[in-house]
Structure 1
Amino acid sequence: MAAISKFLKLLLVLVIIGAIIWAVIDNYSVIFSKKVTGEITAVERVEIPVALISRAESNINEKVFSFAVGIKDQKTGEIYTASSEDRQWAVAQKGQCADAVFLPYPPWQLNKKDTYFGARLVRLYECPK
């Protein structure tokens, strides 16, 4: 009976550890995201040389709403860049200030290590003079 109890406790611990590891791997970019506050140095729509024919019920490819974003961190002066499919960037302009969350590629994607694939616009405002 004691052996079964020890086995069940070990199994429970392994399941919990496995669930934690899975959650970290699945949500790595959100867990290790970087909040950047500063001036927008660039926000450019990425033009895709594709003609689109869409109907009301069809899904439009998200790549059509891709933007390249650059923000200069007001604390460090470092410029963070990322690509983004967040449509809110369509209204942002160079020279405005923004709070954005940059999502990093996970370290197991070695060819994209230490770069960002997403920039989520949190707040957009005029820079203080």
Structure 2
Amino acid sequence: MDPLATPEDLAARLGRDLTAEEAARAEALLRDASALIRGWTRQDFTAGESTVVLRPVGTVVRLPQRPVQAVTAVVALGGSDAIPDVALPTGGWTWDGADKVDIWPPDTSWLLSLPETWADGWGSVDTYRVT
């Protein structure tokens, strides 16, 4: 992954140009420091689309990366032929605009359109794929 800062950022922070020796080592040191920061925070700091498989706590799924710009899909993972994966429709989940997806919003009228075999096993669904 790219470092979180450049040698130019380092020179600006120091308020002076880097010496030849510092410039030769700057890239490697910045990569090392960036890896430490990513490891400590468990954040990527790189914009992109990601899909994660998560288990909720109650009815809430916490997204591991921040900031989140959008949540585009939530899929309940059934895990078997009897309980297939089902993409939750609009109204089947809400996103708080930060890092939390609520799986059970007040409007549950969409449940009527689920396959009967899936609805029978709903209680066993405890894993979601969030994009």
Q: TM-score normalized by structure 2?
A: 0.26
Structure with more of its chain in strand, by fraction = 1
Q: TM-score normalized by structure 1?
A: 0.26
